[in-house]
Amino acid sequence: MKIKYDLLKEEKNTSARNGLLCTNHGTYKTPMFMPVGTLANVKMLTPEEVKACNSAIILSNTYHLWLRPGEDIVAKAGGLHKFMNYDGPILTDSGGFQVFSLAKKKDILEEGVKFKNHLNGDSLFLTPELSIQIQNKLDSDIAMSFDECPPFPVTHDYMEQSVDRTLRWAKRGQNVHQNVNQSLFGIVQGGEFKDLRKYSAVETVKMNFDGYSIGGTSVGEDKKTMYEMIDNSVPYLPKNKPRYLMGVGDPIDILEGVTRGIDMFDCVLPTRIARHGNAFTRSGKINLKNAKYKEDFTPIEEECDCYTCSHYTKAYIRHLITSNEALGGRLLSIHNIRFLIKLTEDIREHIEADTLLEYKEEFIKNYTKKQ
Amino acid sequence: MKIKYDLLKEEKNTSARNGLLCTNHGTYKTPMFMPVGTLANVKMLTPEEVKACNSAIILSNTYHLWLRPGEDIVAKAGGLHKFMNYDGPILTDSGGFQVFSLAKKKDILEEGVKFKNHLNGDSLFLTPELSIQIQNKLDSDIAMSFDECPPFPVTHDYMEQSVDRTLRWAKRGQNVHQNVNQSLFGIVQGGEFKDLRKYSAVETVKMNFDGYSIGGTSVGEDKKTMYEMIDNSVPYLPKNKPRYLMGVGDPIDILEGVTRGIDMFDCVLPTRIARHGNAFTRSGKINLKNAKYKEDFTPIEEECDCYTCSHYTKAYIRHLITSNEALGGRLLSIHNIRFLIKLTEDIREHIEADTLLEYKEEFIKNYTKKQ
């Protein structure tokens, strides 16, 4: 069965919307934040811990799993859910962004992308067909089309060619997609060019994907440009399909995305900053390495319901982080994931009550005030 | 309240014994294996995970906590239990072994040991009094006397002086020990010299500690010598006090120790080898990096009741380990700790049934057979 999106409620004052995403692994509310488990695990965490954060979909990565352990081993295990023992829904990224971000040299051809394995330098060739075939084998709930993710900035001329190529690649991927239990999303590109965002969205929607994502917004542009890119993509996407803003996980960006009509977000941010000692709080990001937490025997956030905040103090987590004990990053990962998921829970409540703008304003005020 | 040891049963054919250790944080069966949590955490694991392995006492370390975060911060947190949120019993090592093993240069004086901080090279001076005072503040259930742990081999003459110094240090530590809820153990040293082991044991016992440990057996000698050192120490220890063999966690060594009358063991082995991809099994240690586990979709041990074995396959753990994903070491740590604790559970059953020798022979046969 493919996923099914039910639009439940459109907020009065913004483009935000509450929805239900029905998958083969449960039905979940949107807007949602999806934790990233690149290599078939959300770094340091068990599936139970991720679920305890009230997470729904988690992400995994075609490029990384293609290299290690290889899609055939995952298929032999019975697919990615069985392999990693996660019975919630999984979305696999296509590898397009990883080719762009990890490979130092790459050769973008009509057929696909030639590049070097970031682990051992071996020559690799990833095509739209291969990406989809790998994802078919991984048996994720949602597969992504293989797209070109150009750097920022490029000329309008280059971006136009790139958008056309991504459209052709999307079609080729769709043509070989065979897993009837897997949904396939198209990706809107077009950089900061309004006309190309519109063109990409309109043409991608013509192919009738199960959902649409907006790509290339988090690769170097300023925030204002990012929000404009969303504004110039969302209006051309159908209301009855989920909309996914790729690679975005900053709390303020999630709020800005939701008010612009986005349903799904993913980002490595909560787990990556955790490993460096950072924690999200309602009053901004804090770094536990800071000496002021040495004797702070309170949780990261008194009101937080996560495992970390209900069991440990800042002083203890600071001790773990400054002593390079991995448990520190693990505990902060749990808190940060829960923080973003709780944010989406609050957002959904305020969409329901048509009070999202007030909530957003208040959140941003607290989050950005000098402490 | 100090700990209390009840001898429940002496095995017929060996010196093994079943006992009950009553602590301020629960009553537990001996023989027991104690996981090591050097820096106020068993590496990568939460207290709940350690407890789920049916663990009892965990170890922590005076030297490490003295440096980070400092005993005063732990004391302000309400003691080590509260600081790390562990409500089971905790034993703190005195730092004597760490000074020996971590400091490249050290100056052993009558007053104490001058050495360099292994983190930043600062000059440090640890004395028997300071070690006990730190442990008093940490508020562990069991503190260890500060001892000299000489390298192997040293001359009989040096070892004799060292044993006498350790005896004087034990007395000095005892004199300043003030925490009425904390028990204090003496440590038998003497290297491979039978007369000095006996001398050290007899003199230490005269000081009437709450328990006795046998130190310096795991620092470079062959196994036969290690077992002889136990044989030459245990007979001089009282039956009504617990006996603790320090730093020993190899499964065969645990069996050899138990049959010689040891009640308590600790070792970093299960967690350290885990981080390098190794798992204990009844048929010997295996390394999950081995290519033969690539498509092995069975647990590490079918009959194991640990979280790891009931949720994950060798192929998945191999993938995590070879991809440097920390979850791999975490899952193997859980299995390895549970393996050693289950071993002590089996041992206790066979002590009860007077069948320990047969069990030991069978275990060693399986554990050492070529696969």
Please, are residues A147 and A170 in contact by the beta-carbon 8 Å criterion? yes
**Which are the contacts of B93, defined by CB distance < 8 A and separation ≥ 6?**
B59, B60, B61, B62, B63, B144, B246
Residues of A (240-259) whose Cβ lies below 8 Å from B:
none
Q: Which of B73, B78, B311 lies nearest to residue A85, judging by beta carbons?
A: B311
**pTM summary value:** 0.98
**ipTM beyond 0.90?**
yes
Interatomic CA distance for residues A366 and B360, integer angstroms: 64
Number of residue pairs across A and B with CB atoms under 8 Å?
A: 102
Spell out the residues 6+ positions from residue B353 whose beta carbon is closer than 8 angstroms to its own.
Answer: none
The helices-and-strands tally (H runs, E runs) of chain B is 15, 16
Long-range own/partner contacts, residues A47-53 (CB < 8 A, 24 or more apart): A47/A84, A47/A85, A47/A86, A47/A87, A47/A88, A49/A307, A49/A334, A50/A86, A50/A88, A50/A337, A51/A88, A52/A307, A52/A334, A53/A306, A53/A334, A53/A337, A53/A338, A53/A341
In angstroms, the CA A158 to CA A108 distance is 12
B122 in catalytic set: no
Please write the tens of the pLDDT for every residue from B178-222: 999 999 999 999 999 999 999 999 999 999 999 999 999 877 678
Contact B52/A at CB under 8 A:
no
Asked if B158 is an interface residue toward chain A (Cβ–Cβ < 8 A), one would say no
Q: What's the pLDDT score for residue B221?
A: 72
Closest to A187 (Cα-Cα) out of A129, A171, B142: A171
Q: Which residue from B41, B83, B311 is facing A327, i.e. has the nearest CB?
A: B41
- What stretches of A104-174 adopt beta strand conformation (E)? 106-108, 113-116, 123-126, 142-144
Tens digits of residue pLDDT in A176-232: 999 999 999 999 999 999 999 999 999 999 999 999 999 998 776 789 999 999 999
Q: Please indicate if any CB of chain B lies within 8 Å of the CB of A289.
A: no
- Is there a contact between B177 and B143 (Cβ–Cβ < 8 Å)? yes
Kindly report, residue by residue over A257-313, the tens digit of the pLDDT. Answer: 999 999 999 999 999 999 999 999 999 999 999 999 999 999 999 999 999 999 999
Residues with Cβ within 8 Å of residue B195, at least 6 apart in sequence: none
Is residue A183 within 8 A of residue A141, CB to CB? The reply is: yes
Condensed to tens digits (0 to 9), the pLDDT of residues A168-177 reads 999 999 999 9
Once rounded to an integer, what is the mean pLDDT over residues A93-102?
Answer: 91
The Cα of B76 is separated from the nearest Cα of chain A by a number of Å equal to 8
Nearest to A77 among B77, B315, B323 (CB): B315
Cβ under 8 Å to A: B residues 55-74: 64, 68-69, 73
Please name the member of B45, B69, B316 whose beta carbon is closest to the beta carbon of A319: B69
Query: Catalytic residue numbers of A?
Result: 93, 266
| Mean pLDDT computed over every residue of chain A | 96
- The pLDDT score that the predictor gives to residue B371 is 61
The token duo for B151 is 């390298």
Residues of B in Cβ contact (< 8 Å) with A313: 77, 83
Distance between CA atoms of A35 and A57, rounded to whole angstroms?
A: 7
* Residue in chain A lying closest to B316 (CA): A83
**Whole-number Å distance between alpha carbons of A341 and A161:** 37
Q: Apex CA A207: angle with CA A235 and CA A130, to 5°? A: 120
Cα A71 to Cα A155: distance, rounded to the nearest angstrom: 36
Mean pLDDT of each 10-residue bin along chain B, 371 residues long: 97 98 98 98 98 98 97 98 98 93 90 94 96 98 96 94 98 97 98 97 98 88 92 98 97 98 98 98 98 98 98 98 98 98 98 98 94 61
User: What one-letter code names the amino acid at B19?
Assistant: G
Using a CB-CB cut-off of 8 Å, the residues of chain B touching A68 are 319, 322-323
Only one residue has tokens 């530590």, namely B173
For residue B261, the model assigns a pLDDT of: 98
CA distance B301 to B288: 12
* Facing B39 at nearest CB: one of A77, A323, A329: A323
Contact A211, A243 (CB under 8 A): yes
Residue-level pLDDT at A371: 61
Residues of A in contact with B316 (CB under 8 A): 40, 77, 83-85
Residues in chain B: 371
CA of A280, closest CA in chain B: separation in Å? Answer: 21
Is B46's CB within 8 Å of A311's CB? yes
Query: Which two three-digit tokens encode residue A50?
Result: 């991720």
- Is the pLDDT confidence value at A144 over 80? yes
Cβ contact, residue pair A323, B68, below 8 Å: yes
How far is the C-alpha of B74 from the C-alpha of B173, rounded, in Å?
21
Shortest CA gap A92–chain B (Å): 18
Taking an 8 Å cut-off on Cβ atoms, the answer to whether A44 and B84 are in contact is no
Compute the nearest-CA separation of B363 from chain A (Å): 32
Please give the residue of chain A at the shortest CA–CA distance from B296: A77
Residue B122's CB is within 10 A of a number of other CB atoms, namely 10
Query: What CATH number does the domain located at B4-266 have?
Result: 3.20.20.105
Task: Note the pLDDT of residue B217.
Answer: 82
Chain B nearest-CA distance from A179, in A, is: 23
Residue B369: exposed, middle, or buried by beta-carbon count in 10 A (0-12, 13-18, 19+)?
Answer: exposed
Q: Which CATH architecture has domain A4-185+216-222?
A: Alpha-Beta Barrel (3.20)
Tell me which chain A residues have a C-beta less than 8 angstroms from the C-beta of B83: 313, 315-316, 319
Query: For strand B183-188 and strand B142-144, is the pairing parallel, antiparallel, or unpaired?
Result: parallel
- Which residue in A44, A78, A319 is closest to B330 by CB distance? A44
Report the pLDDT value the prediction gives residue B235, as an integer from 0 to 100: 98
Q: Which site among A307, A316, A321, A334 would you substitute to test the B interface, given the most B Cβ atoms closer than 10 Å to its Cβ?
A: A316
Whether residue B295 and residue A73 make contact (CB cut-off 8 A), yes or no, is yes
Angle between helical axes of A326-352 and B326-352 (0-180°, round to 10) = 110
Rounded Cα distance between A318 and A334, Å, is: 15
Domain ranges, ordered by start, for chain B: 4-266, 268-371
CA distances from A18 to A240, A254, A256, A360 (A): 12, 14, 15, 16
